[in-house]
Chain A
Amino acid sequence: MSKVETILSQLKDIAANPKKAMDDFKAETGKGAVGIMPIYSPEEMVHAAGYLPMGIWGAQGKTISKARTYLPAFACSIMQQVMELQCEGAYDDLAAVVFSVPCDTLKCLSQKWKGTSPVIVFTHPQNRGLEAANQFLVTEYELVKKQLEAYLDVKITNAALERSIAIYNENRAVMREFVKVAADYPQVIDAVSRHAVFKARQFMLKEKHTALVKELIEEVKAMPVQPWDGKKVVVTGILLEPNELLDIFNEFKLAIVDDDLAQESRQIRVDVLDGEEGPLYRMAKAWQQMYGCSVATDTKKGRGKMLINKTIQTGADAVIVAMMKFCDPEEWDYPVMYREFEEKGIKNLMIEVDQEVSSFEQVKTRLQSFVEML
């Protein structure tokens, strides 16, 4: 097995076995893990406390039954999965769960957590242009920090936070580099592997993830760039799972050359900048810098333009919108983006993403037709 294959295999294992990743971390450090609900959280705080932040983004292909007690069938697919796993006690080993509430479903779910772990809920200000919004979010983060310190019995110092911020910034920078490398080497980093590199990031200390991804990038870049005889696409949406769906991308030679997925590149888009202000203030300010996301208010609706630019810059053939089933914020963005794509002549396709689904024939037809159309 080559070095690249070894690293990818390691990251795929972590992405597929989060419980093992958490248990290994506990055995190694004696400390626990804290759940991080979608979409944006001050993860650096958990890291600074010495705990492992664990992303909670549902599960692949799990049948929903218990969650039906609490959620209507038309609640978003990730939350259905999260509720099902909560009911089964899957998250009860977590020392706490940090919960942002940028959409109605998250807000409601935060109020009826069925697991035994304590839940720390905070709110992002949506009027993001005001200085008062920064101050509001600092106060929210102070409350998150206070509760984390209480539940974890750890003092989160500014020095530890600064160190964690630096580690996270480095990881985000390395992942942005990875996105470019994956675009250049689709024969080496296919859609499933690309996703695994992002997904493993949710279940590892970022410094360890950074080290592995750096090594991966170095190994891949040492190879000659080969011409790609398939098509290139930019994908957008909340997430693009399960792997069976990504296998179809591979089957039809659709290389993902950039993404705007909430689970992937939106997590690495914005850094916490250096400055004279304290760490919490700078972390709060990062939220104001966030752009192109359906849950972050943007009166100018710049997401479509951002995707058009990404398509042009990467030389992509098209944009694929991975529409999370029953996700209101994403559905609201779609007609605006669609009109802009059409006006600019950007080929585009919408596919539906449902984590529960186990049959992929319909999406296969859509993707095959799309490839034939390009």
Chain B
Amino acid sequence: MYTLGIDVGSASSKAVILKDGKDIVAAEVVQIGTGSTGPQRALEKVIETSGLKKEDISYTVATGYGRFAFKDADKQVSEISCHAKGIYFLVPTARTIIDIGGQDAKAIRLDNNGGIKQFFMNDKCAAGTGRFLEVMARVLETTLDKMAELDEQATDTAPISSTCTVFAESEVISQLSNGESRNNIIKGVHLSVASRACGLAYRGGLEKDVVMTGGVAQNAGVVRAVAGVLKTDVIVAPNPQTTGALGAALFAYEAAQKN
């Protein structure tokens, strides 16, 4: 039995096809999210990669910010539940999940069976999210994929506020005007993102293993900063952008079995 999970995020669309609830047949990411052609393209790509036909899919679960806008799903499940499900499938020792996506950040506490004990989300603010990093990358004349490498070359950490994206952007510009090195500022930006996310994790109580997921987990600079703030090792989920879609595909498998 093949099931599909599609995670329609604010900044990207992710799709995973699962065989019999355990084998990942295909996983695809399209870097454009809800309200665009992204979800449909992610669907088409994952079908093509898997070599299957749409009618081979027994059940589809949509998750993510745009989950209710994706009309081809049999069911919608929240991204918190899907990330928890996907991460527990990949890393059964996970007890704290830090998920930083395009426009929100979440800390999820799991119990020993993978059930959600508690979760916290960021307030309605871009600070501490992928969008924050995008804004900073633009100001710093770099791209998201280069930020981790530049962070590694930093000799110091320039202090950047974690309160507000707009304030932080002004701070970055001030730091640049004062001649601060770009690499040090990037390290400060990563620390700023990590501080926000770790604040959420602390709120729910921290328990090992800590696993990072979401698109921002691909940035090794942020992962290092999170590990530094939490003073613990941080595991990065395999293919962190697609764990929500994987969780959705797992939920789809459970639902299909009940049908």
Contacts and interface: CB of A to CB of B under 8 A. Distances in A.
Contact of B116 (A357, A368, A369): A369
B80 A361 contact: no
Interface in B104-135: 104, 115-116, 118-121, 123-124
Contacts of A354: 124
A368 B78 contact: yes
A111 interface: no
A357 B119 CA distance: 22
A132 to B, nearest CB: 40
B169 interface: no
Contacts of A362: 104, 121, 124
Interface in A286-301: none
Interface string B67-85: 0000000001111110000
Interface in A341-374: 342, 348, 350, 352, 354, 357, 359, 361-362, 365-366, 368-369, 372-373
B89 interface: no
Given A342-B205, A362-B104, A369 B80 contact: yes
Given A342-B205, A369-B116, A352 B81 contact: no
Nearest to B116: A373
B33 to A, nearest CB: 13
Contacts of A350: 120
Contact of B119 (A352, A359, A361, A369): A369
A365 B124 contact: no
A63 B76 CA distance: 32
Interface residues of B, number: 17
Point out which of A352, A359, A368 has the most chain B C-beta atoms below 10 A from its C-beta.
A368
Point out which of A348, A350, A359 has the most chain B C-beta atoms below 10 A from its C-beta.
A350
Given A362-B104, A369-B119, A373-B115, A357 B78 contact: no
Nearest to A372: B81
B81 A373 contact: yes
Point out which of A348, A359, A366 has the most chain B C-beta atoms below 10 A from its C-beta.
A366
A357 B81 CA distance: 25
Given A372-B77, A373-B81, A352 B205 contact: no
Given A365-B80, A372-B77, A372-B81, A352 B116 contact: no
B65 A361 contact: yes
A366 B121 contact: yes
Contacts of B116: 369, 372-373
Contacts, number: 41
Interface residues of A, number: 16
Contacts of A357: 124
B111 to A, nearest CB: 10
A361 B78 CA distance: 11
A315 B121 CA distance: 27
A18 B115 CA distance: 45
B110 to A, nearest CB: 11
Interface string A185-212: 0000000000000000000000000000
B190 to A, nearest CB: 24
Interface in A258-309: none
A128 B3 CA distance: 62
Nearest to B124: A362
Contacts of A366: 80, 119, 121
B123 A352 contact: yes
A366 B116 CA distance: 13
Given A361-B65, A362-B104, A369 B120 contact: no
Contacts of A365: 65, 78-80, 121
A79 to B, nearest CB: 18
Contacts of B205: 342
B101 to A, nearest CB: 11
Contacts of A348: 118
B241 to A, nearest CB: 18
A154 B124 CA distance: 48
Interface in A231-269: none
A369 B123 contact: no
A356 B121 CA distance: 19
A19 to B, nearest CB: 30
A352 B124 CA distance: 9
Contact of A372 (B78, B118, B120): B78
B235 to A, nearest CB: 22
A350 B116 CA distance: 15
Contact of B78 (A342, A352, A359, A369): A369
Contacts of A361: 65
B63 to A, nearest CB: 9
Nearest to B122: A362
Contacts of A369: 78-81, 116, 119
Contacts of A359: 124
B44 to A, nearest CB: 25
Interface in B26-85: 65, 76-81
A138 B120 CA distance: 44
20 contacts: A342-B118, A352-B123, A352-B124, A357-B124, A361-B65, A362-B121, A365-B65, A366-B80, A366-B119, A368-B76, A368-B77, A369-B79, A369-B116, A372-B78, A372-B80, A372-B81, A373-B80, A373-B81, A373-B115, A373-B116
Given A362-B121, A369-B81, 7 more contacts: A354-B124, A361-B65, A365-B79, A365-B121, A369-B119, A372-B116, A373-B81
Which 6 pairs, one residue from A and one from B, show the smallest C-beta to C-beta distance? Answer: A369-B80, A369-B78, A368-B78, A373-B116, A372-B81, A365-B78
